[in-house]
Structures are given as structure tokens and as C-alpha cells.
Amino acid sequence: MSVISSVLLLAQEQPAAPPTQVEAPSVTAIWPILIVLGAACVSVLLEALLPRHLRWSSQVVLSLLTIAGAGLALVIYLKDAPVKGEVVLNGTLVVDRPGLFLWGTLLALSLGAVLLIADRSVEPGGAFVASAAIRPGTIQDRAQVASTGMQTEVFPLTLFALGGMMTFCVANDLLTMFVALEVLSLPLYLMCGLARRRRLLSQEAAVKYFLLGAFASAFFLYGVALLYGYSGSVRMSDIASAAAGSDRSDTLLFAGMGLLVVGLLFKASVGPFHTWTPDVYQGAPTPVTAFMGACTKVAAFGGILRVLQVAFQSTQWEWRGVLWGVAIVSMVIGAVLGLTQTDVKRMIAYSSVAHAGFLLIGAIALTQKGLSGTLFYLLTYGFTTLAAFGVISLVRDSSGEATHLSQWAGLAKRSPLLAGVFTFLLLALAGIPLTSGFVGKFVVFEAALSDGMGPLVVIALIASAVAAFFYLRVIVLMYFSEPAADGPTVTVPGAFTTAAITLGVLVTLLLGVAPAFALDWAGSGAFAIQ
């Protein structure tokens, strides 16, 4: 990072200026990032050096320690962190309250995700292929399915992705944002392709995600270029001031912004840029899906919030209407298409599209309320989704996970506990009171309404009523239908998965019953603009 930053520093300096003026950057603020990325590099080395049988354990320990350490660093920094945030690395990163909140969220969520990834009790050897090089359908493939080996590169990849996400949330200029975007995306592309079973689907998911992701980042990048052309800088604050008054043609501004936002919306799987979501969610190994579903959403919306509030605050009256439209499209697509899904993971994917719509409503309410509401919503949504995918990974039959809805019929009779937990999570997704989902919706809609977006809120409410139907469908299946004869079995999860699910459920419940403290954190400060 520091290298990049210093070079960038050069870029921002006048050419004449001698490089000697670079002073050692203060890094206390970004220790969490440094820890994560550093650990990522270390774990790559571990992959290279350790014998196979030691890798899994050491990787798990390392990852968990890393996240714990990063969290610790975060907490320590929080004690004396300036409320208005501070700029580090010569303005490439700005560590402010929202950024810190997002970091906390990301670290907590990735902790759960890592636990899911590391689990080897549900599927002997874990959810990941023993060796990605083996061709699907061959004898070796069948052997690897039985084996207990696992492609432990997943862990460094996870850490890199996490680092990218954390950077993405605090990037103060668009170029850093782009780099972070790639840093978080590339590992995910790979992780999608590493499923132990149904590898064809897994690889297909990887290809789709990759191609479309690359396509999207091209858009993002072109948007950056145009904005650079418009304002002569990629720093958000500069763009903002330029937008306030600049002689350049606004075509550059708005075209650039459009492309930029599209790139971001893609990552956040907001309709109509959601098309990859169902396929990838379904195809990827469930732990990875959980990681994507929870963390990518958080990071992407962190970016969207920052871009909109910092860079495009002044022009909101031009673009707001457009994003209204996008939000509506996203909610409608998510709610309506979810109705007829037959695969649980796809269903959750569409629900995530709908939720992206709700989140966008909060994001375009450019108020403190809108900011804190959206942040809170991200927190709640992340944990609920994480736990949901954790539960999904437990329902299995001979050929792996049984994600087809028909296989879930009468599950409540087989395993009341699992059915109960999943029902609770679904109700949270539907936004029933006493779950975090309700409080999240409440704060977001409250912000939107007080920012004069009444109609949008009403549409959102109707959409969530429609969406409620497909959550109910699953509940009806689990409780009111007779179980299928050769239905799936519910695996008793090991410590890791149990821990992850418990974490998600507890947070969902806690934030539903006593959200006060989290709301205070989310509302503790605005973006730093400099």
C-alpha cells in the first residue's frame, strides 16, 4: 500500500516538486488493513512452505488470529480516534467513523465466514475441492470427493479479499477504490470455482462472475477516467468541489458518474446489474456464498455511500431520480423473481437483490440518518445472510447439499431446531419485528421518509410484503407439509459452523431486541470530506 500511496503522492504533487518531501506516513489508523493484508502474504508463504497435512490447521489459526488481531487494533484505535476522521497515506485513505463501523462489520462477518470455510465436520474435508487441478467427472475427481484434503489457498484468498474490502470502504480517491475493488474481486472469482462437489456448476459460476466482474470494472474504470477528465483529479473531495463549479462540460461528470455507479451497483448486486447474483450464489461453495453475500454487500455499499455522499452530494438533484428508478427496479426484480425460485440459495440471492434495493433507498437519502440507517441495515443483513447460508449448508443428501426446495418439505419434523432457526432467519429477512431485519428496515425507511421519499418507501413496503411470500413458502414447506420419503438428512454441525450460525442468529436477535448501542455506533459520525 505505502508504495502505491507514495507514487500517487507524486502524481498529485506538481511534477517539479522533489520526491524528498515524502514524510513517513502515519499508520496507526490503518493497522487493521495492514494486519490483514500482511497476514494474507504470510499465509501465502505458509501454503508454499508447509507440508500439506499442516496447512489446514495453521491456516485456520492464522486467519482467525489475523481477524482477531485486526479487530483488536481497530478497538485500540477507536479509543482515541478523531470523530471527524483522519486522512492517511497522503489522502489515499480516510479513516472516519463510517469507515471504522464498516471495518468492524466486515471483520465480524468475515470471522463467521472463515469459520464456515474452515469447517470440516459437515463435509469431510470441508466444502472445498482437494485439488482444483483435478478435472471434474474423472476418477480422481470421485477420489477427491471422498478424500479429506482441501485446497487451503482459500484462506489467503479470503484474507486478501477481506483486505480489499476494508480498503474499499475507506478509499478516498477513485483509483485506490479501483485497486481495492480488484483486490477484493479477484480472490472471490477464484474461490467461487473451488467447490468440492458439483464442480461444473462451481466452475461455471467462477467464469460468469469473473467475466461479468471484469466487464463491470471496465465500466467503473472508464467512469473514473471521465471524472478525472472532468475534475482533473480522482480524489472525491476534488470531484465534489469541481462539480460545485467547473468549466468542463457536465457530460463528462454525469457519464463518468453513471459508469462509476454502475460498476459499484454491480458489486452490490443491485438490479438490473444483479444478473450474476443468482447463478454465482448457487454455484459457489456455500461458505463462499456466505462470505460474498455478507461481506461484498457491505463493502460495495460502503463504497456507494462514500461516493454518493462525498463526491456527488452537490449534484444529487440531477441523479437522485435515476437512482430512485434503479432502487425500484431492484426491489421489484428481487421480490417478484424470488416468488418462483425452486433453489434455496437462488431464493436467498434474489432476496439479496431486493435487500440491495432497500439499502439503496437508504444510500440515496443523503442525510446523517440515511448514512447511519444504511450502515445499520448492512450490519443486520450481513449477519442474517451469513447464518442463513450456514444453515443451508447443513441440509444434505448423498450428493451434497440439498438445496432444492422440494427437499425441504417437512423438515421441521426431522429437525425442529434447524427449522426453528431458519424460520427465525427468514422472518428477519422478511423484516418481522423483534428481528434485526425489522429495525434495519425501520431506520432506513425512516431516513428515506424524512428525506421526502414517501412514494419510494411505500413501494418498498409493498415489495417487502411480496417478498414475505417466498419466505413464508419455505416456512410452510418446513412446517405444514409432509416430509419427502427420501428426504435430506440434517447434519449435526461441528464447532465451527455451530459457532458461525450462533453468531449470526444471536446478532440478529440482539439487534432486533436491543438495537440501541449499534444504532449509536452507526450514527456516531459522518464521512470526512478532505
Partner 1 sequence: MTPTYYLLLSALLFTIGAVGVLVRRNAIVVFMCVELMLNAVNLSLVTFARINGQLSGQIMAFFVMVVAAAEVVVGLAIIMSIFRTRRTASVDDSNLLKY
Partner 2 sequence: MTTSGAHSWLLAALLLVPLLGAVVVTALRGNDHTAKLAALAFSVAEFVLAIVSWVNFQPGGDRLQQGFSLTWIPSFGVHISFAVDGIALVMIAVIGLLVPLVIGAGWVDKLPEGRTKGGFFALILLEQALTVGVFAATDVFLFYVLFEIMLIPMYFLIGSYGGARRQYAAVKFFLYSFLGGLIMLASVIGCYSMAVDELGAGTFDWAKLVQVVHDAPLSTQIWLFFGFFIAFAVKAPLVPLHTWLPDATAEAPIGVAVLLVGILDKVGTFGFLRYLLPMFPDASKELAPLVLVLAVAGVVYGSLLATGQRDMKRFLAYVSIAHFGFIALGIFSFSSQSLTGSVTYMVNHSIATGMLILVVGMVIARGGGSTRVADYGGMAKLTPLLGGVLLIAGLSTLSLPGTNSFVSEFLVLIGSFPNAPVYTTIATVGMIFAALYVLWLYQRIMQGPLRGDALLPGVPSAETPGTDGSGAVLTAQAATGTKKIVDLDTREKLVLAPLILLVVGLGLYPKPVLDTVTPTVDATMCQAALVDPVQPAERQVQCR
Partner 3 sequence: MNLAAEVHQASGVAGAAWLLLVLPAAGAAVLLLGGRRTDKWGHLLGSATVIAAFVYGVLLFFDTTGQGTEDRLRDLHLFDWIPVNALDVEFGLRLDPLSVTFVLLITGVGSLIHIYSIGYMSHELRDRRRFFAYLNLFVAAMLLLVLGNSFVTLYFGWEGVGLASYLLIGWYQGKDFAATAAKKAFLMNRVGDVGLALAIFLMFKNIGSTQYDVVFDKIGQQSTGVIVAIGVLLLLGACGKSGQFPLQAWLPDAMAGPTPVSALIHAATMVTAGVYLIARSSPLYSLAQAGDARLVVMIIGAITLLLGCIIGCAYDDFKKVLAYSTVSQIGYMILAVGLGPAGYALGILHLLTHGFFKAGLFLGAGSVMHGMNDEGDIRRLGGLARKMPITFITWTLGYLALIGFPFLSGYFSKDAIIEAALAEGGTRGWIFGGIALLGAGLTAFYMTRLLILVFLGKPRWENLKSADGRSYHPHESGPTMTIPMIILAVGSVAAGGVLSGMLPEWLEPAVGKLQEEHGPLSATVVSVLTVVISALGAGIAFLLFGRGEQPVTRPQRVSFPVRAARADLYGNHLNEALISRPGVWLTRFLVFVDNRGVDGLVNGIAAGLGGSSGRLRRLQTGFVRSYALSMLGGSILVIAALLMVRFA
Q: What are phi and psi of 402, to 5 degrees?
A: -100, 90
CB 504 within 8 A of CB 112: yes
According to the binding rule CB under 8 A, does residue 190 interact with partner 1?
Answer: yes
* Chain centroid, CA 101 distance in Å: 14
Query: What mask of x and - would describe binding to partner 3 in positions 456 to 485, judged by CB under 8 A?
Result: ----------x--x----------------
Q: Helix axis angle, 454-480 relative to 344-364, nearest 10°?
A: 160
According to the binding rule CB under 8 A, does residue 279 interact with partner 3?
Answer: yes
Region label for 409, one of left (φ > 0), alpha (ψ between -120 and 50) or beta (otherwise): beta
Looking at 267-275, 297-305, 387-395, 439-447, which segment touches partner 3 (CB under 8 A)?
A: 267-275
According to the binding rule CB under 8 A, does residue 462 interact with partner 2?
Answer: yes
SS3 349: helix
Q: How far is the CB of 153 from partner 2 (least distance, A)?
A: 44
According to the binding rule CB under 8 A, does residue 142 interact with partner 1?
Answer: no
Q: Which residue, among 428, 406, 526, has the nearest Cα to 478 in the 3D structure?
A: 406
Which of partner 1, partner 3, partner 2, none is residue 214 near (CB under 5 to 8 Å by kind)? Answer: partner 1
Q: How far is the CB of 458 from partner 2 (least distance, A)?
A: 6
Looking at 296-304, 306-314, 323-331, 465-473, which segment touches partner 2 (CB under 8 A)?
A: 465-473
According to the binding rule CB under 8 A, does residue 229 interact with partner 3?
Answer: no
Cα(230)–Cα(484) distance, rounded to whole angstroms? 62
With CB under 8 A, what is the number of residues at the site for partner 1? Answer: 49
Q: How far is the CB of 276 from partner 3 (least distance, A)?
A: 6
Query: What mask of x and - would describe binding to partner 3 in positions 140 to 179, judged by CB under 8 A?
Result: ----------------------------------------
Looking at 26-34, 210-218, 330-338, 438-446, which segment touches partner 2 (CB under 8 A)?
A: 438-446
Q: How far is the CB of 455 from partner 3 (least distance, A)?
A: 17
Which one-letter DSSP state was computed for residue 273?
S
Distances in Å between the alpha carbon of 205 and those of 172, 211, 288, 396, 494?
32, 10, 12, 21, 27
Which residue type, as a one-letter code, is found at position 350?
Y
According to the binding rule CB under 8 A, does residue 366 interact with partner 2?
Answer: no
According to the binding rule CB under 8 A, does residue 361 interact with partner 2?
Answer: no
Residues sharing a CB contact under 8 Å with residue 387, sequence separation 6 or more, in sequence order: 112, 421, 425, 500, 501, 503, 504, 505, 508
Looking at 86-94, 162-170, 204-212, 372-380, which segment touches partner 3 (CB under 8 A)?
A: 204-212
Q: Which residue, among 209, 227, 196, 188, has the nearest Cα to 127 in the 3D structure?
A: 196
User: Residue 30 or 216: which CB sits closer to partner 3?
Assistant: 216
According to the binding rule CB under 8 A, does residue 132 interact with partner 1?
Answer: yes
For residue 512, the tally of other CB atoms under 10 A from its CB is 22
Residues sharing a CB contact under 8 Å with residue 155, sequence separation 6 or more, in sequence order: 43, 59, 60, 62, 63, 114, 117, 118
Which of partner 3, partner 1, partner 2, none is residue 519 near (CB under 5 to 8 Å by kind)? Answer: partner 2
Query: What mask of x and - would describe binding to partner 1 in positions 259 to 288, judged by CB under 8 A?
Result: -------------------xx--xx-----
Cα(118)–Cα(58) distance, rounded to whole angstroms? 11
* Core vs surface per residue 433-470: b (16+ CB within 10 A) or e: eebbbbbbbbbbbbbbbebebeebbebbeebbebbbeb
- Of 1, 95, 226, 240, which one interacts with partner 1 (CB under 8 A)? 226
- Of 225, 255, 461, 490, which one interacts with partner 3 (CB under 8 A)? 255
User: Residue 5 or 341: which CB sits closer to partner 3?
Assistant: 341
Cα(406)–Cα(409) distance, rounded to whole angstroms? 6
Distances in Å between the alpha carbon of 207 and those of 121, 123, 204, 415?
29, 25, 5, 36
Q: What burial class does residue 134 get, using C-beta atoms within 10 Å of its C-beta: 0-12 exposed, 13-18 middle, 19+ buried?
A: middle
Which residue type, as a one-letter code, is found at position 38?
G
According to the binding rule CB under 8 A, does residue 464 interact with partner 2?
Answer: yes
Whole-angstrom distance between the N-terminal and C-terminal Cα of the chain? 20
- Of 162, 180, 216, 478, which one interacts with partner 3 (CB under 8 A)? 216
Q: What are phi and psi of 404, to 5 degrees?
A: -75, 135
Which of partner 1, partner 2, partner 3, none is residue 321 near (CB under 5 to 8 Å by kind)? Answer: partner 3
According to the binding rule CB under 8 A, does residue 457 interact with partner 2?
Answer: yes
According to the binding rule CB under 8 A, does residue 179 interact with partner 1?
Answer: yes
User: Residue 19 or 272: which CB sits closer to partner 3?
Assistant: 272
Angle at 269 between CA 239 and CA 327, to 5 degrees: 70
Q: How far is the CB of 143 from partner 1 (least distance, A)?
A: 16
* Core vs surface per residue 367-379: b (16+ CB within 10 A) or e: eebbbbbbbbbbb
Chain positions contacting partner 2, by CB under 8 A = 413, 427, 430, 432-434, 438-439, 442, 445-446, 449-450, 454, 457-458, 461-462, 464-465, 468-469, 472-473, 476, 479-481, 514-516, 519-520, 523
Chain positions contacting partner 1, by CB under 8 A = 4, 7-8, 10-12, 15, 132-133, 135-137, 175, 178-179, 182, 186, 189-190, 193, 199-201, 203-208, 210-211, 214-215, 217-218, 221-222, 224-226, 228-229, 232-234, 278-279, 282-283
Chain positions contacting partner 3, by CB under 8 A = 207-208, 211-212, 215-216, 219, 250-251, 254-255, 257-259, 261-262, 266, 272-273, 275-276, 278-279, 318-319, 321-322, 325-326, 333, 336-341, 466, 469
